[in-house]
A = this chain, B = another copy of it.
């Protein structure tokens, strides 16, 4: 009948234990700047160049010797020759971004000038360096541009490109093996036919793989594995080259809860049974330094385990820096009742400027998630929230 687990570990403690056993993979690769968005720098970037690398006009206008403009004003314009070089009494047209010619030390913006033929009237006095961007004004040679561990955004790619770089060294995406287990499962390749009673299409593995991809891992999809210890053991052993292994299904008590016991056999079972609802049957372990998550087969419980353990696990493996969580403050359109002793994962839908908890949403009904916009977490020691109370809403990605 298998082990009946009565104990449960709190979410925080379970996550702490799990992350404590995960080290950043540290594997790196060189990639093109054209595909670097969302990747994490594996090296400190020090600029090998000055940006700009020349004295740059900051405005369209005339490059001049500032001393030539002394006293210039609309009522007392000063005439300068328009030329191809700057010396006393002459000026050169420059557009924004152009090199300021030798001899010039300022740019008079076009709005303060009137040109006629090869003469320009200067109607404003400028001081030295006015409208001139100095060499290295943006980035000096030798400046620290990014620390390693920086999460690259498109604007960062442009900065790196301006330094003359084409490739960048980043941490590899961790490979996450997704192993669906269960005798009751049939591949989606046979999705055309409605399966016989008791047999269901494999969908949790698809969901896990798509979340892994979204969160910065590379999913490795595995064929469905029958629900017996030998087959599960073999599937795990074949995937010990991955950075993390997810076993979907087979975590609960009963004749077929084999996944956690196989983890215990091959390595260390850190936690089995977590104070979250749904998601209690989740198990966490380590085999040969590879973190393993046993995801409950009930799809909503599986989703909860993905959010609470797989996502932070991937972030740790991939050295993805912490970012503020996207939390919305909303008032409840109806009360929430919650099970004491468990963090309760309550699905909610937006309703005007409030959120409404989905009534009767069961752990087996993934449609309750797909109908939901977000979720509210009720802590272990809270019985629920009243209608009108303000709660933190997490969007479902």
Contacts and interface: CB of A to CB of B under 8 A. Distances in A.
B369 A155 contact: yes
Contact of A34 (B99, B206, B256): B206
Contact of A60 (B138, B154, B164, B255): B255
Contact of A255 (B1, B93, B184): B93
Contact of A297 (B97, B159, B369, B370): B97
Interface stretch (A187-195, A233-241, A262-270, A335-343): A187-195
Contacts of A159: 203, 366-367, 369-370
Given A58-B364, A139-B367, A191-B166, A154 B110 contact: no
Interface in A31-78: 33-34, 36-37, 49, 51-56, 58, 60
Contacts of A194: 49, 53, 164
Contacts of A55: 197
Contacts of A93: 255
Contacts of A153: 370, 396-397
Contact of A95 (B33, B34, B256): B256
* Of A158, A159, A194, A328, most B-chain CB atoms within 10 Å: A158
A154 B95 contact: no
Contact of A198 (B99, B191, B200, B253): B99
A36 B197 CA distance: 29
B203 A110 contact: no
A210 interface: yes
A203 B364 contact: no
A364 B161 CA distance: 15
Given A60-B255, A161-B191, A164-B192, A367 B201 contact: no
Given A145-B370, A303-B155, A53 B197 contact: yes
Which of A198, A214, A365 is most buried by chain B, counting CB atoms within 10 A of its CB?
A: A198
Contacts of A326: 326
A97 B254 CA distance: 12
Interface in A120-147: 133, 137-139, 145-146
Nearest to A188: B161
A157 interface: yes
Nearest to A138: B365
Given A55-B197, A96-B297, 18 more contacts: A49-B194, A53-B195, A56-B364, A60-B255, A110-B254, A138-B367, A145-B367, A153-B397, A154-B211, A157-B206, A159-B203, A159-B366, A159-B367, A161-B201, A162-B366, A164-B192, A164-B194, A323-B395
13 contacts: A4-B110, A96-B252, A99-B197, A138-B364, A145-B367, A145-B370, A154-B207, A154-B210, A159-B366, A161-B206, A164-B192, A164-B193, A323-B395
